[in-house]
Amino acid sequence: MRLSRYFIPVSKDVPSDATIASHKLMLRTGMVRQNGAGIYSWLPLGFRVLKKIEQIVREEMDRAGAIEMLMPTLQQADLWRESGRYDDYGEEMLRITDRHDRDMLYGPTNEEMITDIFRSFVKSYKALPVNLYHQQWKFRDEIRPRFGIMRGREFLMKDAYSFALSEDAARVSYQKMFAAYLNTFDRMGITAIPMQADPGPIGGDLSHEFLILADSGESEVYCDKAVLDVPAPGADFDFDDLNALEAEMSKRTQYYAATEEKHDEAAFNAIPADRQVKARGIEVGHIFYFGTKYSDPMKAEVQTKEGDLVTIHGGSYGVGVSRCVGAIIEASHDENGIIWPDEVAPFGAGIISMKPDANDVAAVADEAYAKLLAAGKDPLYDETSDRAGPKFARMELIGLPWQITVGPRGVKSGTVELKRRATGEREDLSLESAINKVMGT
């Protein structure tokens, strides 16, 4: 993309209610625009990152055997009356009446709707287990929307819903999501720690919130430092291997990790002192098993092999897709701007032409652009006539993983400058070597 033809409304001033780094940086880089309390437009740069995250989530859900679909944002109140949540949900639910005086709502989550879809079509054990997911906008009328898109009112969530014949089978569905979440966040370049969470009315140990450690986090968290070093299952993890699934979960749960609500001071103090981490965290995902909470009142039943009718066991699994954009920035920035991890960067590399009106400089910069474009690296090409200082500052602020600077002096000696944003390391190289390095070859 040529910067001169793109739309990145970079700005110096941010409103005073932007108190945390990610909120400030998303406004300064023109990633989002607030349209109302907790309601945002995703401008081109922000939209690119959001799409990348959505795609990572999609690939990892698919790998774990979940099946993508799409449910609407608007729902009929009647389904929620069946589950009993229409009255229970409270003020966070945005209620709407249509022209025929029907009660509707903007979905804050989709358990009722998916359970209705499931019960309409699935009648036999043969279709189980199944896990259906979508990535759709949600609305929750949060009392205090803040921190930009991190606690918005309208936000993008990936929500998956599993259906299984028994509690044991539901445990397997749960473990698959547990492992998939570890891979998902790992690919985004963040360390999300699964922490014991409140399981709600059913009890049991099948409820985890995934949190990343950040000073700006809203939750107080406690964990054993050792949990940070457990590697993610990885791309070749076998989701059909039941022993591997069980092992993945115990690898982490052997170490203490809990949010404030589940914190056990005695257990925490039993950890060696140099491994006790008391920090703040941002919740980026939440998985839990809820048994027959929805299938019971909504009569989601299937016939077993023996011909008996049984109520299915469900679980739901959320990722705050839009919140992840902010969480990644919280975890990865410096005083000059954002430092995008490679997999989620809006563009793979930036090219700065120092003198776009000098033919020899323009030729090398154009070549760098054409080559990276052809190689699928999606470069952002700053060929504007702005001054050098502001150009560098802007590229640094946007925070692409690599920067290639083409200037008159280098062009004379046949080199460009390659800089890695994360480390600040710079070197003068031939254009070919620089491109090879960016391509990781």
Residues that bind Mg ion (CB under 5 A): 286
Q: Is residue 285 a contact point for ligand ATP (CB under 6 A)?
A: yes
At 397 the three-state DSSP class reads helix
> Could you tell me which stretch among 39-47, 82-90, 243-251, 320-328 binds ligand ATP (CB under 6 A)?
320-328
Number of residues that bind ligand ATP (CB under 6 A): 15
> Could you tell me which stretch among 55-63, 241-249, 280-288, 371-379 binds ligand ATP (CB under 6 A)?
280-288
Q: What angle do CA 428, 431, 433 make, to 5 degrees?
A: 75
Q: What angle do CA 85, 87, 92 make, to 5 degrees?
A: 85
User: Quick count: other Cβ atoms within 10 Å of Cβ 111?
Assistant: 21
> Could you tell me which stretch among 48-56, 184-192, 316-324, 389-397 binds ligand ATP (CB under 6 A)?
316-324
Among Mg ion, ligand ATP, none, residue 291 binds (CB under 5-8 Å by kind):
none
Instruction: Find the residue with minimal CB distance to Mg ion.
Output: 286
Please state the φ and ψ torsions of residue 70, each to the nearest 5 degrees: -145, 125
Q: Is residue 93 a contact point for ligand ATP (CB under 6 A)?
A: no
Residues 203-262 that bind ligand ATP (CB under 6 A): none
> Could you tell me which stretch among 59-67, 260-268, 319-327, 381-389 binds ligand ATP (CB under 6 A)?
319-327
Q: Is residue 142 a contact point for ligand ATP (CB under 6 A)?
A: yes
| CB of 440 vs ligand ATP, minimal distance in Å | 31
DSSP assignments along 288-318, one per residue? EEEETTTHHHHT-EEE-TTS-EEE-EEEEEE
- Cα–Cα distance for residue pair 144/131, rounded to 1 Å: 33
| CB of 133 vs ligand ATP, minimal distance in Å | 12
Instruction: Tell me if 418 sits within 8 A of 402, measured CB to CB.
Output: yes
Tokens of 159: 């929500």
DSSP assignments along 92-134, one per residue? GSEEEE-TT--EEEE-S--HHHHHHHHHHH--BGGG-SEEEEE
| CB of 32 vs ligand ATP, minimal distance in Å | 13
Instruction: Find the residue with minimal CB distance to ligand ATP.
Output: 320
Q: Which residues bind ligand ATP (CB under 6 A)?
A: 109, 140, 142, 151-152, 155, 157, 283-286, 318, 320, 322-323
